Structures are given as structure tokens and as C-alpha cells.
Amino acid sequence: MTRIQDDDQDIPDWEASIRPVADHTPSLEWNYAMKGWMLRAETSLLYGPSNVGKSALVCNLGSCIVAGRPCFGARVTPGLVVHVAPEAPASVRDRIHSCDIDPATKQNYLVCGEALDLSNFRAVASFIEFLKGVMRDTGEDIVLIVFDTLARSIGLLDENCAASMTQVVQTAEWIARSLNTHVMLVHHTGKDADRGGRGSSALRAAVDTEICLKPGKTENSVSVVQDKQRTQPKLAAVYFRIEKTVLGMDEDGEERTTAHAVETSAPTTGKPPGPEKMENSRDMAVRIALQTRGMLRDLAPAPFKTAELVATLPPELFANVAPENLNRTINRILSDLARADNPIVSGSAGVWKLTPSDARLTRKS
């Protein structure tokens, strides 16, 4: 918004700000940093519990942007990334250094080890002007700026104060719009993770996008969920896991590692079948195998051993059966089929034979 300076007061330029809708032409371009997730000139809050993989995910997103490759299948705008990481700048540099991207491309991932106090107007103005100079010098746009973490970026402000957090987001918006970039604030959950990010709810109200990281039900799985989208449709959750990458050997000859977020597909959510359902599935599989055998002229009349039948069964149905017990399990099913009113097999002790169709019909009549 254009503003007019009047002595010590900052007054909006209403004539420049208020226009009839008839003068408006909708833009058909999203101007995205990551399509469907984050728009440039907007802000987001990424939050989750400690050690869930927030910084690792940010590094994955940033590496995709500098390399110009999709992130979780979503298009990105290639460009520079600025990661303000006063808590652990060396850790961020290690992760990007070990990323599988071209060495020249890594020059576009900029890590700042100094905290920026978003409540300090002069410091923020200096930060914006410095980054404008970076874009002029490199000829590249800054697509993403990350403040990791929010707690290290608010100076002496109280994160539980609604007015203070609204001010912080307004400052983030100033940076985002001045540089046409996306500004992400990385934050922690409170004691009750279900209530969202720690501190005032004004944070969620003020940002354009809110993204939550949640530990998955399967080991080492993390879901990435859009809790809020102001201007875009919400997309389905995506998932990643943390994997270690060896940087090299330390002074004691032991591996020095770093952590990476590796994109994965959605974990299976269905419950494993209960014992009764599994038993029915196995019984049906044996019946189908016997029926198939009966359709083959050479095999139908010939006796067969249990092991021969086992080789034709779906292995996933017997994955939790010890190999030494597998034949015993199939023999039990075959014995039940042999004792049925209309048996489709006869035999015992691991040697079986299909009951001829005419014999079964005779028994039935």
C-alpha cells in the first residue's frame, strides 16, 4: 500500500489504494514458490513437534527450488533460497552439501547464521535491501526465505501476545512483498500438539498458509498436512521419512552423518486382516489352486505333494507362517476339504489327489 509521510504519522494514500472492481483484471498466474502449497509474496507457518524433521523438510524443499525439480510432485519456481538458521547453520550447510544436486546449483542456497529480529524495523529494512542487491548481482530471483525458527526471530517479543505475533507476520509480509518471495516461519507445537503451533493463535490467523508436520503411525514416517490455505485449494497430505547420509569419517575414523527428508508414498492405513479373515483367504487360495490344477489335463488325475501346491499359492497370504510350518498349514486346509460333505480332494500324509467331478456328483446325489 502506498503511504504518505505526514510529520511523524504514516498515512495510507487512499486515492492510490481504493479502486473500483471494474478496473480489475484477474491474474491467471499463481506466482508460486511451490504450486498448490506456497505462493510468492505470501507467508506460511510450518510447525511440528521437536525432532519431527522440520529443518530436514525445509532443506528438501529448498534443494528442489534451487535445482528446479518438483517437490512431492508439485512444480516449483527455480531461484535462490535464503535459509535464516541461527540455531544450527552448520547443520543446514551439511545437509545441502550432501544433497544430490549439481555443485554449481548449491551456490543458490544461501544460509544465514545470524538471527534477524523481525520486530526491528531498521534491521529488517537493511535485510531487504541487502537481498535486493543479491538478486541484482546474481540475476536470480529469491523464491523462498525461511526463518528457522520463529522463536529466534522475534527478539524480546512474547509469542503468546496476539498483537506481537500479528506484528511479526506483518513484517514477514513486508519482506515477502518487497522481494516477491515466499516467507516461511518455522515453529514448534506447544504442550498440546493438537492445538497447533505454540503461542498465540494470531499467528495462524495472520499467515496465508499453515503446514503441520505429524509423526506417522508407521516407523520413521512423517505426514505434511495443509491446515490452512487462504488463496489456494487445499491439497492432500504428503509424506516423508528421515534417512541418514554419511558425510565422511571423523577424527576417530567413525562415520559422520547428516539427516535428509526423503519423499515417500502414503503409508497403508488399513488394518491387517484378523485371524478369521486370513484363514478364509488362505482356504480360498487353496481352493482356487486345486480348481486350476483340475483344469489341466496332465495334472488333474495325478497325485501331488503338498509342496507342489504350496508353490502355486500367493506367498503374501502366508508371510507370517514360519517356513517349517507352511506345509503343515496347507495340509490342515486340505484335510478339512477332504472331510467335507462334497470333498474336492482326498489323501493324507502330504500326498493328495483331486476327487473326480463325477465322483463328487455321485456323492452329492
Q: What is the pLDDT of residues 206-224, one digit of tens each?
A: 999 999 999 887 767 899 9
184: enclosing H helix or E strand: strand 182-188
Distance between CA 338 and CA 345 in Å, rounded? 5
292-340: pLDDT as tens digits: 888 887 788 888 888 888 888 887 777 777 777 788 888 888 888 888 8
Q: What share of the chain is helix, strand, coil (3-state, %, to 5)?
A: 35, 25, 35
Calculate the average pLDDT of the chain: 88
Amino acid 361: pLDDT: 39
Amino acid 309: pLDDT: 86
Q: Judge whether residue 359 has pLDDT over 50.
A: no
48: enclosing H helix or E strand: strand 43-48
Amino acid 150: pLDDT: 96
Domains and CATH numbers, the chain: 28-264 (3.40.50.300), 275-364 (1.10.10.10)
pLDDT exceeding 70 applies to what percent of the chain?
89
Higher pLDDT residue, 344 or 183? 183
Amino acid in position 70: P
CA 167 to each of CA 24, 104, 127, 137: distance values in angstroms, whole numbers, following the listed order: 29, 38, 17, 31
Question: Which of 108-112, 139-143, 241-245 is predicted least confidently?
Answer: 241-245
pLDDT exceeding 90 applies to what percent of the chain?
58
pLDDT band at 41 (very low <50, low <70, confident <90, very high): very high
How many residues belong to the chain?
Answer: 365
pLDDT band at 58 (very low <50, low <70, confident <90, very high): very high
Q: Is there a contact between 182 and 35 (Cβ–Cβ < 8 Å)?
A: no
169-192: pLDDT as tens digits: 999 999 999 999 999 999 988 655
